[in-house]
Amino acid sequence: MKVMRTGQLAGLTLVGALALTACSGNNTPTTNPSASGTGTAGCATGSLSGQGSTFQANAELQWAKDYAAKCAGASVTYEGTGSGAGKTAFGNGTAEFGGTDSLPKPEEQAAADKRCGTGNKGIVTPIVAGAVVLTYHLDGVAKLTLSATTVAKIFEGTITKWDDPAIKADNAGATLPSTTIVTVHRNDKSGTTNIFSSWLDKNDPADWKLGAAETLTWPGGQSAKGSDGVTGAVAGAKGGITYTELSFAKAQNLPVADIKNAAGTTVTPNATSVSAALGTATVDTSKGDIRITPDYATKTSAAYPLAAPSYVLTCDKGNKSAALLKGYLTYALTDGTAVLDGLGYAPLPDAIATQAKTQVATLS
Amino acid sequence: MTASTERPPPDLSGGGLGATRRVGDRVFAALTTGAGVLVLALIVAIGAFLLTKAIPAVQKDSTNFFTTKLWQPDNDPSVFGIAALVFGTLLSSIIALVVAGPIAIGIALYISDYAPRRLATPIGYLVDLLAAVPSVVYGLWGLLFLAPHSDKFQQFLSDHFGFIPLFDLGKNGVVGRSMMIASLVLAIMILPIVAAISREIFLQVPQANREAALALGATKLEMIRLAVLPYSKSGVVGALMLGLGRALGETIAVALVLSLSYSTSFHIIDANVGGNTIAANIASQYQAAEPLGQRALIASGLVLFVITFAVNALARYVVTRSGKRAAAV
Amino acid sequence: MSAPSLLDQLPGLGDQARRLHAPVRLALLALTVLVSLLLFASTPLQGRVDFVVFVVIAFALVQTGVSFALEGRRHALDRLVSLLVHLALLAAVVPLVSVLSYTVYKGLKKLDGQFLTHNLTGLGPLDTNGGEYHAIIGTLEQVLMATAIAVPLGLLVAIYITEYGKGWLAAAVRFVIDVMTGIPSIVAGLFVFAFWVIGLHRGYSGLAAAFSLTILMLPVVVRSSEEMIKLVPAELREASYALGLPKWKTILRIVLPTASAGITTGTMLAVARVTGETAPLLLTSFITPATNTSPIAGKQTAIPTFIFSQIGLGRPANYDRAWAAALTLIIIVLVLYISARLLTRRNTLTRR
């Protein structure tokens, strides 16, 4: 049949054409001027794949790009699939490291230990700190201050207009439109939701009835998937407000609200205020790694209370491509901190950062 | 996709002049029978495998799987149920069908009875093109074009027809990525399948019936009511059910367009209320789900499988029967 | 209304009623547009879409009214339904044109050589370059594998149904194939996920995706092949048998080649359908920014999942990538679809 042959021929040509461009299609890494650190110290070759937390995804992507530019022959990929997925992927061996905002639950810890081999165990290392911010879409309002109580009422659905007296009270002298508030929350399981709800739960349990968890039973409001999804939804909805990591709000060019902390001070989320908040966190090293419990009701006046670390989950010993993993994580904790502010993250407080670097140096 | 009259192939199973069946024949017969059995096995395996993963998950559910509206399988204790999902699946599909059904039947009638002869086939192909557009593209279009561009229309419905609960926006309602927009996208997606099957059914009505009606001085509408519809009614019902089956299982377009929630509200234009479907819930929850969460999603998928299987089986039965009747007239 | 009463109203041959001829209807339409324009100019009514909707409703009312007065109830109804039927066609064409044109308009912005030859590795969070090379590879491999499994299997099943199948087994197979056309694609994905990905611990792969696509392709291939095999004239087989060819050779050498154009059409339509599938791929081959040329191991992005994940990222640059990939996907699917239809016209076996 002639027609069939032409069809097959066309198919072959197409396959051939794509095969001719025989390359991986990888983008050539270019050096990022803002990333300091030249030379090839701490470089290792090979490929490394990580996945998990979307909280740290933007930082990981930038580090991966910069590290590849610095170290020829090194390829690191990171996929923001969510903390739960990151821990699972590490546990079943489909990722060399997992990114997570929440500490491993017993069964996740067991899976990680098993993956690392007999005698070894899975450990978490804080890698970056970030702020969960309230970002909004309200034309003509570039500056906004919110207290925990107001935020609780907004997301509980008891405050429904932007010119509500409670919001006005938080923002003396500001002109607020009567636009209806469109709250947007995560519809997937999320460490960000956990941080956000823990903060409200600690600061105003009277108005916040939804508790603190990675998934909540929302009384209403719109929803979207992932940190990108909620910020995208707010960017598309006039009157919208959501909670997300600062880096995602920055990427969308959305304004970010200042928060009244437990000390009564109005604080802008940035590297300084986040580091200040984590400075008051409790650090637990009893499990042979570094586990941080943030104080969401911190009374430090310069602290932005919605601050949390994000971890990488690795093996203490028995890591696949251990040299590259060590090189990459060391880069992230040293030279890599230079890009953080621009992306909307904060470096870890010095004390924690030193502990983290020491721990990474022992990986094998 | 047609419910054709089945013309049995001539049975010459003896084959050839020699009466003995050759080895080649036996091998080939076994091979094809094997393929047939494999298909049967496949459908049984689909049901069985979903069931084996679903049952343990449902047993770990701390609430009633069928009546709970929440979906938090990875919480401790595990809480999940399909009530809101089934509600949303049915609501969105039924709205889609109510919108698409009359339009699709209109298109089918246009092609079978109104279009100029030369145009009928190309227009049929054109409408079929709607089925060729991938669902993720419909989702993208629905999210970034249709939803923002129908704010005014939804607001209009709320302003003038808000007394109907369906279009009630309430005090805090917001138009946008609502159940109605998701349903409209679904409607566009099921339009071609309902139109194509109805068209085939209408075309099977003998031309002589139509001519007889026209000869009596009937207008076109009367001709359709006299000669076409009576013989195709059940076939069209079947086509609508197949469209319903398609809408029930559509995933990506709904997941992208709809603001997902676990509500069971009839306020279809309120994006703050939103909604969810079984399929969209799988697409949105799957990535972050832990092992129990994944199995809970499989359990919900099994429910979807059973619902669509039943709807499709019934639809096929109706279409086939009607096809035979229309052809026998 | 029951049929007999309708029959009684028919006037019989030689109906000499006054008719509303085309020029008159055109004049009515012009008048409606003119009056609507005036109304939109002088009252709070505004907006282009509103105008079109207003004119359509007004014209339907005016035409029905005039027709009722001139031609009577029967013709007025007939004209109204005729108008509605034409509007129904419009209701299908408008979204089609909107989806296609908007995708082309948005997609052209980003769709270039760079986009087609790069993947998404090595990009910072704010980069806007990168492309869908890895997704094209993924789609090609997955769809080719699915076709390679589904077409032979589908042909065998079709041959079984038409040539060998008897009794309850054949009826059951036919029924299952019918019902399989309605299986939601996500359920096919869930099955492969439950059975292959986590059941047999094979993990995500292009092959797993191909399996789920096979489940979706199979019924389409079977049904179209079945139709085509049935259309092969009995005379051809009889001539073959008379020449002493056994049945299996007759099928392979005479029946299938004769039906091949039709079977190819059906296959291409099936390929077009599964190329755009997203849901099952999310569960079976997942998403990765890197190019994975291995069809059997590791995560592999395809064009639909590329679009889905980019939409999820939600920044303008991501939307641009999603639109460009959507345009690629639509081009691939439409080329398959249209060539399949062109092939149908060459097909010598037709029912009507």
Per-residue confidence at B19, pLDDT binned at 50, 70, 90?
Answer: very low
Within a domain: residue C71? yes
Note if the bond before C304 is cis, omega within 30 degrees.
no
Among positive and negative, which fits the CA dihedral C287, C293, C296, C297? Answer: negative
Stretch A132-150: mean pLDDT: 92
pLDDT at position B168 over 90: no
Average pLDDT of every residue of chain B: 85
Per-residue confidence at B193, pLDDT binned at 50, 70, 90?
Answer: very high
pLDDT at position A4 over 50: no
pLDDT at position B157 over 80: yes
3-class DSSP state for residue A144? coil
pLDDT of residue B5: 46
A114 in contact with B, Cβ within 8 Å: no
- What is the least distance, in Å, from the CA of C134 to any CA of chain A? 7
Among A92-96, A345-349, B20-24, B69-73, whose mean pLDDT is lowest? B20-24
Within a domain: residue C1? no
Per-residue confidence at B18, pLDDT binned at 50, 70, 90?
Answer: very low
Residues spanned by the domain of C155: 133-344
3-class DSSP state for residue C229? helix
Q: Which CATH number fits domain B60-328: 1.10.3720.10, 1.20.1260.10, 3.20.20.70, 1.10.340.70?
A: 1.10.3720.10
Within a domain: residue C5? no
Which tens digit of pLDDT belongs to each residue from B91-113?
999 999 999 999 999 999 999 99
pLDDT at position A2 over 50: no
pLDDT at position C238 over 50: yes
Which tens digit of pLDDT belongs to each residue from C273-286?
999 999 999 999 98
Instruction: Give B262's contacts in chain A (Cβ within 8 Å).
Output: 217
pLDDT at position C12 over 60: no
CB B315 within 8 A of CB B245: yes
One domain for residues C91 and C141 = no
DSSP per position, C50-92: HHHHHHHHHHHHHHHHHHHHHH-HHHHHHHHHHHHHHHHHHHH
pLDDT of residue B290: 78
One domain for residues C177 and C221 = yes
pLDDT at position A292 over 60: yes
CB atoms within 10 A of CB B76: 10
B142 in contact with A, Cβ within 8 Å: no
Instruction: Single out the residue in C89, C107, C125 at which a domain terminates.
Output: C107
Note the pTM of the prediction, 2 decimals: 0.87
Q: Please give the distance of CA A176 from its chain centroid, rounded to a whole number.
A: 31
Portion of chain C with pLDDT greater than 90, in percent: 39
C-alpha distances in angstroms, C236 versus A237, B5, B11?
A: 66, 21, 13
Answer whether A79 sits within 8 Å of C290, measured CB to CB: no
B233 in contact with C, Cβ within 8 Å: no
Distance CA C101, CA A130 (A): 42
Stretch C247-267: mean pLDDT: 88
Per-residue confidence at B21, pLDDT binned at 50, 70, 90?
Answer: low
pLDDT of residue A20: 44
Closest residue in A to B272 (Cα) is: A221
Per-residue confidence at B325, pLDDT binned at 50, 70, 90?
Answer: low
A239 in contact with B, Cβ within 8 Å: yes
pLDDT of residue B164: 85
Give yes or no on whether A7-129+281-292+308-361 and A132-272 have one common fold.
Answer: yes
Kindly report the CATH number assigned to the domain that includes residue C190: 1.10.3720.10
Q: Which CATH architecture has domain A7-129+281-292+308-361?
A: 3-Layer(aba) Sandwich (3.40)
**Residue whose tokens read 């490929």:** A47
C293 in contact with B, Cβ within 8 Å: no
pLDDT of residue B9: 52
pLDDT of residue A1: 42
CB B274 within 8 A of CB B258: yes
C343 in contact with A, Cβ within 8 Å: yes
pLDDT at position B319 over 80: no
pLDDT of residue C3: 46
Answer whether B36 sits within 8 Å of C199, measured CB to CB: no
DSSP per position, C103-129: HHHHHTTT-SHHHHH--STT--TT---
One domain for residues C261 and C313 = yes
Answer whether C260 sits within 8 Å of A232, measured CB to CB: no
Closest residue in C to B278 (Cα) is: C186
Paired tokens of B215: 């000869």
Per-residue confidence at A183, pLDDT binned at 50, 70, 90?
Answer: very high
Portion of chain B with pLDDT greater than 70, in percent: 91
Answer whether B272 sits within 8 Å of A220, measured CB to CB: yes
Stretch B13-22: mean pLDDT: 51
pLDDT at position C123 over 70: yes
Average pLDDT of every residue of chain C: 87
pLDDT at position A262 over 70: yes
One domain for residues C84 and C231 = no
Domain edges within chain A: 7-129+281-292+308-361, 132-272
Which tens digit of pLDDT belongs to each residue from A78-112?
888 778 888 988 988 888 999 998 888 888 899 99
CA atoms within 13 A on the CB side of A177: 12
Within a domain: residue C181? yes
Which tens digit of pLDDT belongs to each residue from B266-296?
888 888 778 899 999 999 888 777 788 889 9
C-alpha distances in angstroms, C1 versus A315, B228, C4, C5?
A: 78, 14, 9, 7
Q: What is residue B8's DSSP assignment?
A: P
Quote the number of domains for chain C: 2
Could you say which of B72, B174, B260 has the minimum Cβ distance to residue A223? B260
Which tens digit of pLDDT belongs to each residue from C170-194?
889 988 998 888 899 999 999 999 8
One domain for residues C152 and C198 = yes
Which tens digit of pLDDT belongs to each residue from B33-43?
999 999 999 99
- What is the least distance, in Å, from the CA of C91 to any CA of chain A? 27
Paired tokens of A3: 């027609």
pLDDT at position A14 over 60: no
> Chain A to chain C, count of Cβ pairs less than 8 Å apart?
103
Q: Please give the distance of CA A126 from its chain centroid, rounded to a whole number.
A: 12
A217 in contact with B, Cβ within 8 Å: yes
Pick C125 or A339 by higher pLDDT.
A339
pLDDT at position A6 over 70: no
Per-residue confidence at A22, pLDDT binned at 50, 70, 90?
Answer: low
One domain for residues C59 and C138 = no
Distance CA B107, CA B127 (A): 8
A228 in contact with B, Cβ within 8 Å: no
Answer whether C307 sits within 8 Å of B137, measured CB to CB: yes
pLDDT at position A19 over 70: no
Using N-to-C axis directions, what is the helix angle for B179-204 and B83-109, rounded to 10°?
40
Instruction: Give C87's contacts in chain B (Cβ within 8 Å).
Output: 106
Closest residue in A to C130 (Cα) is: A27
Stretch B3-13: mean pLDDT: 49
Within a domain: residue C119? no
C108 in contact with B, Cβ within 8 Å: no
pLDDT of residue C1: 42
pLDDT at position A38 over 70: no
pLDDT of residue A126: 95
CATH number for the segment(s) A132-272: 3.40.190.10
Pick A7 or B85 by higher pLDDT.
B85
Could you say which of A3, A58, A225 has the minimum Cβ distance to residue C261? A3
Instruction: Give B144's contacts in chain C (Cβ within 8 Å).
Output: 319
Closest residue in A to C259 (Cα) is: A1
pLDDT of residue A39: 59
Which tens digit of pLDDT belongs to each residue from C285-327?
988 888 888 888 888 999 999 999 998 887 888 899 999 999 9
**Residue whose tokens read 């080895």:** B23
One domain for residues C44 and C171 = no
Q: What is the CA radius of gyration of chain C?
A: 28
pLDDT at position A43 over 70: yes
